[in-house]
Structure 1
């Protein structure tokens, strides 16, 4: 009896993958790539239409005949829900009418380099749907081609234009007078309720654009709920604050001033105080004609100044511009590891800031951290009230990371190597060896940039005058 039962289970297990192999599942009509697109994209589109639609394009699902069977239906729905959180593919993307974002390109490259898509469970049902070596090469060639088109890559050497990381620009096109005005406001304590703190209190430019504290200290010594992110290179963030509640730098600049735990002021009172300063009156009348000094113009000036806080010319930037001898072998090997394991989230000019990600994708970070959960630990859920956004945070930028400790939204570790190990385990399920961790840290230290022609790590108050 046991033998018969085993044979029956074996036959059932083979039935589904064999039915797929024999072509009994549904088929999607091929989507034609529009004119003007490269051969690489046409090939890449065909590969994704063949290998990715089942989970990542739910509106185009090619359903096998067993799609509504018990168990199979639940498994498929779960796979589609999980896949859609990472990437949703559409007809417009396949045709080239819509462009793949830099984040989507990074995520595609990640699964190609890690050979993690299609996942093993899916392949047990679809034996021929793995990516061949040739298909992987095609996808990588197309990804590099798309990145080379981005404005970010214009300063990169030809051989590095397709990299997931891009050099920061050496020059910026900003209104110098607004930058100067914003700088003055950024350091003006009159923006706080009792004239004791300013923006630089939590975003000290001599401390990597942070306060190097677990949580920030506001007016009257009040402790904030979360670690203060760096203001350097913040212009590259998709949104501001860890939970992304501010759409841009101007909206972010307005928040702390009126927050009772931070600067504890009222905007109408701040505007009234600043209007008593003749220098400000003249500057705003000249730079904001018809508007003058207001909450909107003050926050705009601060935002323009913060846009100027780009820390270009790190050793890694120089490497991307073609000076390949400037990095050691360990640093280059660290970058190679970074591309495989980290760049799907930490990509772009600032190596982050372009997406929101769950803290603890593979393992429960908060369980391992211990302690009580706080409202701040909810992350983006506090903004969207969507359960799938619980513990989701804006990916932090990694520029000048040597200076921006303690790390993570909760400031839970001061040790960069420890932070790397935590990210490896909890985000990508990888236990980095001691050698791998050392090489990743070596690479990260090449991201220390310059501000006003001086290394961020050596800036003094005198340099910022």
Structure 2
């Protein structure tokens, strides 16, 4: 007898990414786009496949390479993104894809722009300079470092799982991911360029002119489309299932009577495949006893990290005053500078704790070098000030409990999609 399994749909374990290989036929790019429209949208699993691995080949991209790849209709089809296990629970919160539809061609154009230092005034700084895949899509420096070695006053925020976020930056001053994507270009201490100069420089590169025309049509190469391409690439950067995600999914199966579960797996091939994938995941990424204890603490009423780190991406996307850096001679007032609302004085956006172990240092000012230092900050109840969040209280944790919380945060680490760092147009 078939039974209904009350677990989240595990898209990320079953759906192929459907990323196509390039076609070298005689079709024109216009023919390819027409065919793509006839084929309609396709579901693509983010985080797997070769979606971010660039146009096949080696070395700098030539116009010939680019034109040949763009003749493949599959790269122009609209993508309906599917999120992997863990993040899949937040599918209804996906942001920006109606306004800026995703295609593989647009993602690839955004990838090139993301790693290209020619967007900066002196061709030394790219988006990846401060948000690099090898450094957890952040940077190991305390503050961001821009052109001519200029240093900002905030830690580089992560650029993954942005598909579930709208307001950007630590203070939420960018209303969209598109607005955030081109903000650093014109910031004098980041890329130190102007939008007009950036666009003019890109127009000198034939490979970019070809791609912008192919992806955006008659609008071609302008700063708005630079923003759309960069944002589309960033939306494709998602974290894969972690030990925690596999453990939680397996726990749902373990709640079912074992005889009923046996019948269910025999009757439903899809659920059987899900179960085997989750079982394999728990074996390859097991939760340690310390991490399991840390999980209970994290979600407990006593410690209550989940007051802010909640939902599929483990962030409430809101702003809180933790007392970090508030005792400086001229403290950073965070969200208040944007809203002028007293409740936002000294408040900063809650970051995701997914893959947090890969992106030290921590907090908006990079003042905490390790996750243990972060736990110690919360344990002491933050730094008192006139607007300290009422969610921050002294925890009186034992040493082992601190270690367990760190172990749990480390167990929130999933894979990043493989991404090509180079292969830029001449």
Q: Structure 2 length as normaliser, TM-score?
A: 0.64
Distance, in Å, in 1 between the alignment partners of 2:367 and 2:11 is 35
Q: Deviations over 1:384-440 (max 9, x none)?
A: 111221111110111111121111011111121110121232223212211111111
- Higher fraction of helix: 1
Deviation sequence 1:235-274 (CA, Å, 0-9, x none): 3234110000011211101210000011110101111111
Cα pair distance change 1:342/1:156, threshold 3 Å: farther
Question: Closer, same or farther in 2 for the Cα pair 1:380/1:297, shift >3 Å?
Answer: same
1:385 to 332, 336, 340: 340
Q: What is the alpha-carbon distance in structure 1 between the residues aligned to residue 355 and residue 155 of structure 2?
A: 16
Query: 1:220, 1:155 → 2: CA distance?
Result: 47
- In structure 2, the partner of 1:118 is none
Q: Which residue of 1 aligns with 2:378?
A: 423
> What does the per-residue CA deviation read over 1:38-88, in whole Å, with 9 as the maximum and x for residues that have no partner?
xxxxxxxxxxxxxxxxxxxxxxxxxxxxxxxxxxxxxxxxxxxxxxxxxxx
The verdict on how the C-alpha distance between 1:233 and 1:286 changes in structure 2, with shifts beyond 3 A counting, is same
Please say if residues 237 and 352 of structure 1, whose CA atoms lie closer than 8 Å, have aligned partners that are also in contact.
no
RMSD, aligned CA: 2.8
What is the rounded CA distance, in whole Å, between the counterparts of 1:197 and 1:401 in structure 2? 24
Q: Indicate yes or no: 2:124 matched with 1:167.
A: no
1:173-225 CA-partner distances (Å, limit 9, x unpaired):
94111111100000111110111111000001100001111101111111101
1:460 CA drift (Å): 9.6
Q: Distance in 1 between matches of 2:140 and 2:163?
A: 20
CA distance in 1, matches of 2:292, 2:423: 32
Question: Equivalent residue for 1:190?
Answer: 118
Q: State how far apart, in whole Å, the 2-side matches of 1:347 and 1:298 are.
A: 32
Q: Show the 5 A alignment for 1:63-102.
A: none
* Corresponding position: 1:332 with 2:292: yes
Pick aligned residue for 2:410 from 423, 445, 461: 445
Deviates more, 1:168-177 or 1:207-216: 168-177
| 1:366 Cα offset (Å) | 4.2
DSSP 3-state at the match of 1:447: coil
TM-score by length of 1: 0.59
Bigger relative contact order, structure 1 or 2 (CA pairs below 8 A, ≥6 apart): 2
Counterparts of 1:46-445 in structure 2, within 5 Å, are: 153-155=8-10, 167-169=86-88, 174-322=102-250, 323=278, 326-340=286-300, 341-352=304-315, 354-360=317-323, 365-366=324-325, 370-374=327-331, 377-424=332-379, 425-426=381-382, 427-445=392-410
Contact residue 171 and residue 338 of structure 2 kept, 8 A: yes
Q: Shift in Å at residue 228 of structure 1?
A: 0.6
Q: What is the SS of the residue equivalent to 2:320?
A: strand
Structure 1 unaligned blocks of 5 or more: 1-147, 158-165, 454-458
Q: Conserved in 2, the CA contact under 8 Å of 1:214 and 1:226? A: yes
Aligned residue pairs total 294
Change in CA separation of 1:154 and 1:428 when aligned onto 2, cut-off 3 Å? farther
Q: Report deviation, 1:154.
A: 3.4
Report the alpha carbon displacement of residue 290 of structure 1 after superposing the two structures with TM: 2.5
State the distance in 2 between where 1:320 and 1:253 align: 34
Q: CA deviation at 1:311?
A: 1.2
User: Unaligned 5+ residue runs, structure 2?
Assistant: 1-5, 13-84, 251-277, 383-391
Aligned 8 A contact 1:191 1:265 in 2: yes
Q: Distance in 2 between matches of 1:296 and 1:193?
A: 19
Are the structure 2 counterparts of residues 195 and 210 from structure 1 closer, same or farther at C-alpha, using a change threshold of 3 Å?
Answer: same
Deviations 1:277-320 (A, max 9, x none): 11111111111012111101111000000001101122222223
